[in-house]
Amino acid sequence: MERAVARIDFDAIRANCARLKAELGKDSELCAVVKADGYGHGADACAGAALAGGASWLAVATAVEAEAVGRRYRHVPLLTLGALTQEEVDIVLAASSELSVWHEGFREMLSARASAQGSSARVHVKYDSGMGRLGNPDPEHLLALARACDADPNLELAGVWTHFATADEPESAFFDEQLERFERVAAAVKQEFPSVLVHAANSAAVFRERRSHFDLARCGVAIYGLDPFQGDPRERGLAPALSLRSYVADVKRFAAGASAGYGQRWSAPQDTWVGVIPLGYGDGVRRALSNNGEVLVRGHRRPLVGTVSMDNITVDLGPETDVESGDEAVLIGSQGEDEIRAEEVARRLETINYEVTCAISARVPRRALAG
Ligand SMILES: *Cc1c(COP(=O)(O)O)cnc(C)c1O
């Protein structure tokens, strides 16, 4: 028994990638996005499982992530998605990662840094088709930038790409609008530079629209078996890879009216048993789950009662209980016949599954599911 542990099912990650690969068809490659420590699952081992499942590219957001992943998977094409300072550019180039470019000024700086390192940088020009975040929103500028990259001896034009704002909203017409804008820009770039990789799709887009697949799909959330639409991942053939487990450290009798936790936010409505589980918001169990969560113990849902502390939570076990100190407690994942999915926790917190798994802190060891 461990105080708190995230069990990662790498076979599930492998199978999820095979599932995505099948959805993509033979002409599109799968890029596994392992930013933010693999959405909290552990980037290093998840990247390995994703590659075993058919991914042929990796992507990260930051320079530090590129350094770690690039060192470990030296021969796998790696794309750093995010904005980078000059210092970060040096790190990313040393990691042999490909980079994103959307301004002429950044292209010049990048060219100079690549030249200084004696390397050439592979770049993906980014079009802002409507996300309104990173990327160049002007098709003419983007084409000019692609030409400048191609003409630069320190750079190699490798791709043209964009990112969707509403792929996970099935009713959104804006998705189609972005896709149409991007199709025009990508076609213009591809006509002049036929070898560029065209990419746009995230996980939701892969399931939503075949036309968005292009040469490469950048999938994050789905490779971890989290549903991009916040529904049931199994309905899309995805298997959740992460469970968050702890144990019951103490079981104590509460007389009616006795309170649990900071601020006395819960008192026993009747004589009852309360289980104390030694993890809390210091582990990423969000405080907003106070009096608003459930934990599986002995295969049954137990309401989380009182305030989530940094290191402890309490659950109501009821007036009669067979729960004992040392019993396993599951905050995310299955036990017996029941399962608490990250999507359910996200709904309680009015957020998305991405944030739930990313929030699991570094204090929680990530371990491979045994067997
Ligand atoms: C995070 C990210 C992705 C992956 O998105 P998912 O919804 O997790 O599949 C793809 N592209 C970009 C630019 C991203 O930042």
Choice from 81, 128, 206 to test ligand 1 binding pocket (greatest atom count within 8 A of CB): 81
Amino acid at 64: V
> Tell me, what amino acid is at 65?
E
Q: HSE-up of 50 (CA within 13 Å, CB side)?
A: 31
pLDDT at 1 (0 to 100): 86
Helices (H) and strands (E) counted in the chain, each on its own, are: 11, 18
CB-CB neighbours of 305 under 10 Å:
26
Q: How far apart are CA 197 and CA 13, in angstroms?
A: 25
Strands 57-60 and 197-199: unpaired
Closest ligand 1 atom to 222 CA: 9
Q: What are phi and psi of 116, to 5 degrees?
A: -60, -35
Phi, psi of 339 (to 5 degrees): -145, 135
Name the residue of 163, 168, 202 whose CB sits within 8 Å of the most ligand 1 atoms, as the mutation to test its pocket.
Answer: 202
Is 262 tagged catalytic? Answer: yes
Is 35 part of the annotated catalytic residue set?
yes
Nearest 5°: phi and psi at 338? Answer: -105, 165
- Can you read off the two tokens belonging to residue 208? 């939503």
Using the mean position of ligand 1's atoms as its centre, give its distance from the Cα of residue 270 in Å. 48
Q: Which of 73, 190, 252, 262 is catalytic?
A: 262
- Give the chain's domains with CATH numbers: 10-234 (3.20.20.10), 242-368 (2.40.37.10)
| pTM of the predicted structure, to 2 decimals | 0.97
Alpha helices in the chain (DSSP H): 10-24, 35-39, 43-52, 63-72, 86-94, 104-117, 139-151, 174-192, 203-208, 342-348, 353-358
Which position has the token pair 């750079």? 155
Mutation to probe ligand 1, out of 33, 34, 100 (largest number of atoms < 8 A from CB):
33
81 Cα nearest atom in ligand 1: 13
Q: Which residues have C-beta atoms less than 6 Å from ligand 1?
A: 33, 35, 81, 163, 202-204, 218-222, 228
CA–CA separation, 221 vs 209, rounded Å?
17
pLDDT, residue 188, reads: 98
pLDDT along the chain (371 residues), means of 10: 96 98 95 98 98 98 98 97 98 97 97 96 98 96 98 98 97 97 98 98 98 98 98 98 98 98 98 98 98 98 98 98 98 98 98 98 95 55
* Residue 371: per-residue pLDDT: 55
pLDDT of residue 370: 78
| pLDDT at residue 254, rounded to an integer | 98
Which one of 35, 126, 127, 354 is the catalytic residue?
35
Query: Among 85, 221, 78, which Cα is nearest to 159's?
Result: 78
Q: Which atom of ligand 1 is nearest to the CA of 220?
A: 8
- DSSP reduced 3-state for 86: helix
